[in-house]
Amino acid sequence: MPSLVRSLVVALSRLRGSYGWVAGVLALGLMCSSLCGADRNWATYLGDPGATHFSTLKGLTATNVAQLQPAWSYHTGDASPTNSSQIQCNPLIIDGVLFGISVRMNLFALDAATGRELWRFDPAKISGRESSTGFSRGLAMWAEGNERRILFSAGHFLYAVDPATGRLFETFGANGQVDLLDGLDRETRGMPLNVTTPGAIFRDLIILPIRTLEGPGPAVPGHIRAFDVRTGKRRWIFHTIPFPGEFGYETWPPDSWKTAGGANCWAGMVIDHERGLAFVPTGSATFDFWGGDRLGPNLFANCLIALDAATGKREWHFQFVHHDLGDRDLPAPPVLCEVMRDGRKVSAVAQVTKTGHVWVFNRDTGESLFPWREEPVPPSQLVGEVASPTQPVPLKPPPFARQQFTAKEVTDRTPAAREAVLKRLRELSPHHPFNPPNERGTIILPGFDGGAEWGGPAVDPNGILYVNSTEMAYTLHMVPTTLGKGGAKSIFSQLCVSCHGADGKSNTGQNIPSLSDVGARLKAADIVALLGTGRGAMPSFRFLPNQVREELAQYLISPDTDPLVATRSSDASAAAVKSPYVMTGYNQFLDPDGYPALRPPWGTLNAIDLNTGEYLWRRALGELPELTAQGILPTGTANYGGPIVTASGLLFIAATKDEKFRCFSTATGAMLWETALPASGFATPATYEVNGRQYVVIACGAGKLTTKSGDAYVAFALPVSPP
């Protein structure tokens, strides 16, 4: 039936020419999918409401997967020529129609068997806003009876779109859109907010994650909200920075609920529909690296929170980092799974972390299913800061990323590289996984991007978890700011250095444009406008007064001058930033040749039995061809995007810097297939079936780790047998 529906829909679109489909035809196919072959679809972000990344399809097997070949490619046509754009989308595929997101945040629908575009929706055309070059990792689809809606976010707006036509539902919010800066129970105008991960559907609600500013500037609070999928009206809110009288209020200074930011879920959440629970992971409070103005444990930052999905009421929570000072956000949605304990099956929720740990909890009680302890950690050396004296650490499973950077872990790629790294290592503070930031310099390992990252793990019905990990150390230096002294240079150091570096050049390993020649590329008025709107990974700085933005633009063009010193008071500077310290950037710890300072592996793929806490296998993920050519075994690379697993025992993953897409055996970790991509697939793939043919599709957007940007979705399938 689903293939018949797809054929009818595609045929109608060809006849009509404008893709203005009859909505009821597609709705019929979507309704049938739950009755006749739901496994053929990839109908939810990361595979299902529990984010298992698992498919029951068995058409591809260990014996035929090596025959996979490209079935179709679709180019969105909007990649950045400066390699600063990305696609991180895990698309939805429902009854032969693929729904995805382009580089510039256009929503589109394709014939999933051929890659032919059916329609495209550009949110910038709704109000004349400039097209976004941000990114979104996926979509949410809501269905009830004959009604279907795609819930899709771009910037700080949430849209409801008809999946049959690509048109807005005008009755949703204000003319089809909800401004997410509204309804946070606090004034947030001018502050950066966007949505990079899709919301989770529960009944007629969409529960939404948000991304906030993480630097020392003002940031919106990361409160969790549920919206009515038909009207866009807010139905409930959970304050992650508690208000007076709410649980956790005493873990902050008294007025933090009025001013503190972050403690947000940016990674996405999962829904246990049977229990009516939403499992929500949160990130750190802002500023990420100095918390003297937010002393205390800071609930509900860095927590997994079990909320009643219908009301937003807290059922239980677990905090992974108290008073976070190291940007230790929970980086991925948890996964729902079943594990064996004492001869019985337990419904569990597993959460991976940037620190390279897997925590496993009883879904009903929040009890950890493996032992853990509160471990003493070093105190802070920064004025005004009070670090937590202990941090929780699980005792099992063992971490899937290295926890210590000692001389033993230093690269041995060449004697010169090793000696240079050892010299640098001696200059930094001795490494401890929870060493607070200081002015001498601390080592962050696992790095700011994990360990685990937003791709998250896959888990199969047997309780085996598969997670990819990056093994990259960073260095973190804190320097005093010049609060109250004014000056565009001061504003730059407080708001811009973490991404652009102290000299205005982009940080090593990041595709961030250099500011050294910004005056040759942009006029002052263009920079002022950009500071107000943001673009790509750069947030909006609308909270800065227009005069300050104008003077900052002039400083960026002519850094030898600082017009603010003589022309204005310190008020705007003090309003912009409260922290007496700022970090000097997200600096990768590299050897003199630009390779990681650690010895390999630099990226791994791991299989962990959550029933026992034991590893089944571990292998390097990815390679650097120039080192392989030198006879060095595959080192693994930094990686973004997660794996998917099939019932036939296959694991598909792209994620690596080397522009490869690979398939592994879930039983042994042996590689069964690999192919080159047009750009690195920093996204989680999806698998689906149309007309009895199984496909695997991956978005190839790259744009990180100094890689080129791409604009392709590529689908692979077995060759079609001749008639």
Q: What is the pLDDT of residue 507?
A: 56
The string of pLDDT tens digits covering residues 10-46 is 444 433 333 333 333 344 444 444 334 448 999 999 9
Task: Return d(Cα 292, Cα 253) in angstroms, integer.
Answer: 10
The string of pLDDT tens digits covering residues 158-211 is 999 999 999 999 999 999 999 999 999 999 988 999 999 999 999 999 999 999
| Contact residues for 440 (Cβ-Cβ < 8 A; gap 6+) | 427, 428, 429, 477
| Contact residues for 21 (Cβ-Cβ < 8 A; gap 6+) | 9, 12, 13, 118, 164, 165
Domain boundaries, the chain: 482-576
492 preceded by a cis bond (ω within 30 of 0): no
User: How many CA atoms lie within 13 Å of 409's alpha carbon, on the beta-carbon side?
Assistant: 20
Within its chain, how far is the Cα of 597 from the centroid? 25
| Contact residues for 577 (Cβ-Cβ < 8 A; gap 6+) | 216, 217, 481, 483, 491, 494, 495
Q: What is the pLDDT of residue 225?
A: 98
State which CATH number among 3.20.190.10, 3.40.190.10, 1.10.3720.10, 1.10.760.10 fits the domain covering 482-576.
1.10.760.10
For the chain, residues with pLDDT lower than 70 are 1-38, 127-133, 482-487, 489-491, 493-494, 497-498, 501-502, 504-511, 533, 535-537, 539-540, 542-543, 561-578, 722-723
Task: Return d(Cα 501, Cα 508) in angstroms, integer.
Answer: 9
Q: How far is CA 295 from CA 298, 359, 426, 518, 705, in A?
A: 8, 26, 31, 39, 35
Tokens found for residue 402: 């290295």
Task: Return d(Cα 466, Cα 610) in angstroms, integer.
Answer: 10
Could you please report the per-residue DSSP string of 151-195?
EEEETTEEEEE-TTT--B-TTTTBTTEEETTSSSSS--TTS-EE-
